[in-house]
Amino acid sequence: MSRRSLVDLAAEASRGGAYLFAGNALSLALSALASILIARLLGPEGYGIYSLVLTVPAIVGPLIGLGIGQAVTRYVAMLGSEGKGCDASMYIRVALIFEASLGLVAMVLVFLCSDLVAMYMLGRPGIGSLVGLVSPLVLTGSIIGICDGVFLAFLKTKYSALVKSLQALVKLALSPLLALSLGVMGALGGNVASYIVATIASLALLASACRTLGSNNKATSVGYVEALRSMISYAYPLYLPTLLGFLIGRVIFVLTAHFVSDYELGNYSVAQNLYSPISMATSAIGSSLFAVFSGLDPGRESREVAEVFRASVKYSTVLMVPAIAMAILFSRDLVVLVYGLDYEAAPLYLALTATGALGVGLGAYVLGGLFAGIGKTQEVFRSWIVNTLVSLPLTLILLPRLGMVGAIVAGLIGGYASTVYLLMRAKIEAGVSIGAKEIARVYVSAAISALATLPVLYVEIHEVLRVILASIIYVASYAIILPLLGALKEDEVSILVNVARRSGPVLLPLTLLLRIEERIIRKLKQIL
């Protein structure tokens, strides 16, 4: 693959990931503000009912998704890259009609059975009318999910970001206002209205995105049944973990409630909140690369697949490892700054959870997208089985003994076992590798930078100043050590600068940092 084509693919992936991250971050911030206002207006009891009712569509939605959203991403990206625009249009129509039909049936069932759902699922017999009120969220979620899948296939993730932000903004405007006069019902009504607006916007943007597909060829070569059958065949290995994970999750939930104190649960929630930026970033990386791999033919373009995989792992490791390392190093200061001194266990939970993200160098956030993109979804399912077979017994053993720490450790070991399995299968099935020596140099650079930063963490100054000073020292050390150890070369930085620059304003801060890294490497070459 030429440098130009590699840069083109990398720019598309990074731009897509950047918009996904930015959209999720903005949506999360707006939703958090809305939740604070709603919680204040409704009070603890009312907000508890509000949150409980919203779990119904949150549970039903993924269960009826069947993985069709991921399937439409794969087929639309693949057919679009082959110039089969009308076939891609057929897959979009089939996916949208099928998921909308399922969503409509599920919505009607939830509405008609709202009293039963309230009584037996939520244990609150008197809130059936509220369950019926939120039933449209099942339908809107199904439609938005398909639209997001198509946006991802086109790598027009700015549309997804726009829809998420619009939904959160409408919710922020309506839910607190309606809660003033109608209480819980008003807050829920505002939430439903926000998703209806988001659905209309999604469909309008979908029509705009699909406008040019039909011009690629004049007639479709695939029918409705064939398209649906192929998507279900592709998607069921991706859906089974959702279904089985829901059932296993119920068991883990019961055990956690029995063996873990409210204090530990509160600290764990704090740790998860602080970890969410890393989680959103890694999720964005995986999603955008899934779309890129879906547009490559593993048979005719095996060399391109291998090069994109190796570069994706290398560059995501270079960029993500320092953020992960700083989350671990500064875990205590971050908790104190945001939540205060009372959450004493949260720093440990945050550090342990972030340790799992260090698997980025093994391809943890690329491998799933690789296998899903090249159509080998059975490997994704098998990796989930490996994860479950390792983590579930460990959870049953460690949770009663170590509490929340045991649950986190069990999940970490299961996650790494799953990643190692996929890495071994990637060599066999796709002929790809991570470039272990290069990745090791990145980790060593990160570790040395951490050692250089440690003394600052024990200086008795305000947490804000300590985090700022330690961050500067860590980033500066990392920027110098990377090229000294040969973990990052000048031509690689040039590629990253080009990619970041072409990815739009979202990555402007990263572009500036990479340009500084370019200058550092040039200075080091002059000195050495």
* 3-state SS track over 405-439: HHHHHHHHHHHHHHHHHHHHHHHHHCCCCCCHHHH
502 Cβ neighbours under 8 A, 6+ residues apart: 7, 11, 15
Closest CA to 141 of 183, 192, 91: 192
Torsions phi, psi for 216 (to 5 deg): -75, -35
- The DSSP code for 505 is G
Tens of pLDDT, residues 455-475: 988 888 888 899 999 999 999
CA–chain centroid gap for 121, Å, is 28
Closest CA to 348 of 404, 273, 389, 421: 404
pTM: 0.85
Tens of pLDDT, residues 87-122: 888 999 999 999 999 999 999 999 999 999 888 888
d(CA 335, CA 284): 25
d(CA 391, CA 404): 14
Q: Which residue has the tokens 């060399």?
A: 303
Q: What is the SS3 assignment for 4?
A: helix
Closest CA to 8 of 251, 232, 311: 311
- Six token digits for residue 503: 């990815």
- DSSP state string for 205-231: HHHHHTTTGGGS-SS-S--HHHHHHHH
Closest CA to 209 of 346, 389, 73: 73
- Segments in the chain below pLDDT 50: 1-4, 216-217
d(CA 393, CA 135): 37
What is the reported pLDDT for 2? 43
What is the reported pLDDT for 174? 94
What is the reported pLDDT for 229? 92
The letter for the amino acid at 358 is L
Closest CA to 23 of 179, 188, 144, 178: 144
